């Protein structure tokens, strides 16, 4: 098995939407005989983008996985989304690859999500290869991309191929490692040719830069190089793989997924110069409270981590995991460490686009899938019972845009939350909650398109239609002064009457202290058995404030006097008396409206800090502080929820997609009087 692991490569195609990742994957599968014809994203017939939502949007919504063989090596492709709305899936799936291929459009250059991908690859300590795609098009900017890569991506790009240009068109390349020129053939195959004379000087300089960079990765090579010794082809190839694995520099390749130009060179480079699982350092894990490192070793106990889950309403859950150590057979069992549950599987699968291919074994570095595990989900660690460990994983993107989900059809109310919860198992960027104040089901996502896609999947997978509305703000009410009032309920009917009489003292409390009740009745003015009814009456009445019907909070009610009738008094009578006291007391105690205030953490390039702070001030926000690290700034602020419900698209527009934010509830504050009156008027109008 360990011998097999040497011939495995897991590569993640990552980059901004439109850079050609899916077409590149399609080309690799087609060239290796796995497809009868090349699909097109525009036609909705590619192998990797098979979900109806992907076909409709002409772009990846979820990571597609498919393996192919090249020169006795098995390469697993992970074609990740480049759209900001689905980039959370990209970050999670990058964990399963040994190498990240940053795919860049040769005409449009480096764009926002490529920057974020490079940043995440650095955080995950992943070897990176830069692939400049669409080099068969007119007006490519290869040299500009390399200059931008240093600044925007924070990497050290080193050319492995040098483009051969004919006017504004790239017609071939020079392999700098072997000093051989190739032209782009009509069939996509690279055709050997002589190095153009006008390129000889550039070739020598770039070759020297490549050799120097490779030598830096190996002390022995560096010593020989500095002594003026010529380095041979084979040792340069070995040194190149070590340099890529150790992240000494980022090799730069070029080609075209659409035409197939230089795809043979690309695949040669992947198998010869990128790491196999055994080349990777041990993976950090936790064994109880102890930090350990798990090596990619077939002889160690089995361990793996689940990085992706696919939900199918008919087939159930499909958990996709990366095997770190040990081996698996075609059936068997293991321990889900975090949930302390034993799991069994009856078939092992390898993903192949929308299909699953049964396999009989798996070992270190393999990416495999299990169907119908009972208690397993994304982020879970699966291990042999003899050595249970937990693998920390990358956090998904924080949801920043929310909507209230209402049933479009009567009778679907109960199905909405359950169906959304199933989708949240698949997509960890979804957050669900029920707001107890507004009684709404709230669904949060990364952006508008993400939310729309969730709705489409609900309809397709679970036959549930929802209407999305802007969530109601969970306003609350409170009082600002101390009052003492009487609540008296007296009603005479044909038989027994109803009598309850209580004096209640209301006083404001600090924010967040809720409702408190005190009993100061002396002398039996209200019998002990009726005191709980007074408290219950107040508590039930406080659900609706007197200003606009919002819950009333942060006050103490003290019962200090009252009277009763030996025959006509009852629990119900005292409940009603207490509610009358509540209404009267709230009106006299100068009620005010409270609104939720959220902590806001905004991250963006430093150039945008001034605009962001100005915008936050216009939203009644308060900037609490700012930190700068390199070219990135982080603003810590507080703002009312009412002002930031649609902040996500505004921040994207303000920063060209480079700004991100997270938010969390902080506390409640009084609403300014002029704004409060508008809210009260609107609430009363709705109630009418």
**What distance in Å separates the CA atoms of residue 205 and residue 313, rounded to the nearest whole number?**
58
Phi, psi of 57 (to 5 degrees): -90, -5
> Average pLDDT of 67-80?
95
Q: Which fold has domain 594-687?
A: Alpha-Beta Plaits (3.30.70)
Token pair 């006083």 in the structure block, residue? 507
Q: What is the predicted pLDDT for the residue at 174?
A: 97
Q: What is the predicted pLDDT for the residue at 494?
A: 64
What pLDDT, in 10s, does the model give residues 612-664?
999 999 999 999 999 988 788 899 999 999 999 889 889 988 998 888 888 88
What pLDDT, in 10s, does the model give residues 403-439?
999 988 887 777 888 889 888 888 899 999 888 888 8
Q: What is the predicted pLDDT for the residue at 313?
A: 63
Decide if pLDDT at 1 tops 50. no
What pLDDT, in 10s, does the model give residues 119-148?
999 999 999 999 999 999 988 999 999 999
Residue 107 binned pLDDT confidence (cut-offs 50, 70, 90): very high
Please name the CATH architecture into which domain 2-193+249-279 falls.
3-Layer(aba) Sandwich (3.40)
Q: What is the predicted pLDDT for the residue at 210?
A: 94
Count of alpha carbons within 13 angstroms of residue 6, beta-carbon side: 2
CATH for 477-589, among 3.30.230.10, 3.50.50.60, 3.40.50.1980, 3.40.50.300? 3.30.230.10
Query: What's the CATH code, domain 283-383?
Result: 2.40.30.10
**What distance in Å separates the CA atoms of residue 303 and residue 253, rounded to the nearest whole number?**
34
Query: What's the CATH code, domain 401-469?
Result: 3.30.70.870
Mean pLDDT of the chain: 91
**What distance in Å separates the CA atoms of residue 578 and residue 537, rounded to the nearest whole number?**
5
CB-based contacts of 344: which residues, under 8 Å, 6+ apart? Answer: 331, 332, 333
| Tokens representing residue 183 in the block | 């032209």
Residue 49 binned pLDDT confidence (cut-offs 50, 70, 90): confident
> Average pLDDT of 668-678?
93
Q: What is the predicted pLDDT for the residue at 380?
A: 96
Q: How many helices (H) and strands (E) does the chain have?
A: 18, 36
**What distance in Å separates the CA atoms of residue 669 and residue 362, rounded to the nearest whole number?**
57
CB-based contacts of 240: which residues, under 8 Å, 6+ apart? Answer: 160, 177, 214, 251, 272, 273
What pLDDT, in 10s, does the model give residues 261-289?
999 999 999 999 999 999 999 999 999 99
The domain spans of the chain are 2-193+249-279, 283-383, 401-469, 477-589, 594-687
**What distance in Å separates the CA atoms of residue 17 and residue 304, rounded to the nearest whole number?**
30
When mean pLDDT is compared across 21-30, 45-54, 481-490, the lowest value belongs to 45-54
- Taken as a whole, the chain contains a residue count of 688
Q: Is 401-469 in the same CATH topology as 2-193+249-279?
A: no
Q: Which of 318, 438, 295, 312 is nearest to 378 (CA)?
A: 318
């Amino acid at each position: 098995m360990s011998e097999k692991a040497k011939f495995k490569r897991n590569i993640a195609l990552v980059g901004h939407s439109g850079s050609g990742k899916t077409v590149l994957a399609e080309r690799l599968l087609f060239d290796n005989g796995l497809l009868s014809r090349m699909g097109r994203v525009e036609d909705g017939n590619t192998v990797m983008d098979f979900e109806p939502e992907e076909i409709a949007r002409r772009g990846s919504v979820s990571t597609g996985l498919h393996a192919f063989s090249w020169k006795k090596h098995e390469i697993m492709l992970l074609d990740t989304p480049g759209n900001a709305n689905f980039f959370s899936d990209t970050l999670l799936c990058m964990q399963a690859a040994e190498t990240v291929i940053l795919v860049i459009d040769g005409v449009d250059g480096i764009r926002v999500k490529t920057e974020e991908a490079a940043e995440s690859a650095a955080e995950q300590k992943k070897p990176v290869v830069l692939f400049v795609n669409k080099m068969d098009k007119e007006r490519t900017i290869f040299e500009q991309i390399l200059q931008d890569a240093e600044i925007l991506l924070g990497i050290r790009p080193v050319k492995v191929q040098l483009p051969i240009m004919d006017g504004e068109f790239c017609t071939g390349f020079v392999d700098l490692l072997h000093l051989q020129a190739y032209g782009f053939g009509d069939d996509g195959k690279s055709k050997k040719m002589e190095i153009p004379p006008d390129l000889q000087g550039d070739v020598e300089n770039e070759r020297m830069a490549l050799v120097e960079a490779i030598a830096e990765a190996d002390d022995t090579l560096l010593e020989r190089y500095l002594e003026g010794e010529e380095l041979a082809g084979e040792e340069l190839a070995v040194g190149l793989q070590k340099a890529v694995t150790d992240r000494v520099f980022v090799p730069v390749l070029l080609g075209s997924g659409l035409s197939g130009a230089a795809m043979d060179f690309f695949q040669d480079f992947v198998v010869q110069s990128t790491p196999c699982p055994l080349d990777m350092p041990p993976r950090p894990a936790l064994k109880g409270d102890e930090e350990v490192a798990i090596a990619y070793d077939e002889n160690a106990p089995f361990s793996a981590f689940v990085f992706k889950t696919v939900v199918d309403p008919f087939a159930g859950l499909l958990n996709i995991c990366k095997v770190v150590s040990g081996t698996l057979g075609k059936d068997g069992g293991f321990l889900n460490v975090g949930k302390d549950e034993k799991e069994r599987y009856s078939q092992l699968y390898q993903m192949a686009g929308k299909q699953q291919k049964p396999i009989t074994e798996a070992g270190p570095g393999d990416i495999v899938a299990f169907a119908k595990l009972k208690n397993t989900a994304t982020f879970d660690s699966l291990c042999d019972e003899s050595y249970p460990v937990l693998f920390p994983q990358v956090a998904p993107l924080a949801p920043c845009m929310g909507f209230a989900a209402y049933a479009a059809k009567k009778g679907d109310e109960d199905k909405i939350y359950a169906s959304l919860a199933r989708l949240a198992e698949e997509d960890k960027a979804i957050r669900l909650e029920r707001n107890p104040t507004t009684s709404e089901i709230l669904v949060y996502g990364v952006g508008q398109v993400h939310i729309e896609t969730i709705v489409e999947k609900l309809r397709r997978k679970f036959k549930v239609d929802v209407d999305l509305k802007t969530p109601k703000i969970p306003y609350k009410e409170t009082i600002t002064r101390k009052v003492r009032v009487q609540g008296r309920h007296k009603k005479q009917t044909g038989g027994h009457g109803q009598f309850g009489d209580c004096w209640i003292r209301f006083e404001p409390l600090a924010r967040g202290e809720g409702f408190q009740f005190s009993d100061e009745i002396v002398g039996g003015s209200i019998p002990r058995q009726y005191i709980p009814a007074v408290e219950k009456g107040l508590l039930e009445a406080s659900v609706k404030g007197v200003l606009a019907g919002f819950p009333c909070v942060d006050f103490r009610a003290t019962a200090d006097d009252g009277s009763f009738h030996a025959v006509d008094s009852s629990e119900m009578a005292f409940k009603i008396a207490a509610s009358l006291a509540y209404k009267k007391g709230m009106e006299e105690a100068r009620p005010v409206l409270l609104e939720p205030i959220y902590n806001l953490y905004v991250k963006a390039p430093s150039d945008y800090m001034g605009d962001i702070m100005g915008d936050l001030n216009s939203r009644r926000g308060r900037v609490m502080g700012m930190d700068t690290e390199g070219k990135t700034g982080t603003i810590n602020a507080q703002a009312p929820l009412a002002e930031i419900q649609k902040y996500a698209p505004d921040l994207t527009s303000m920063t060209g997609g480079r700004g991100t934010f997270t938010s969390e509830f902080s506390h409640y504050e009084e609403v300014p009087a002029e704004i409060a009156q508008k809210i009260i008027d609107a609430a009363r109008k709705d109630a009418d």
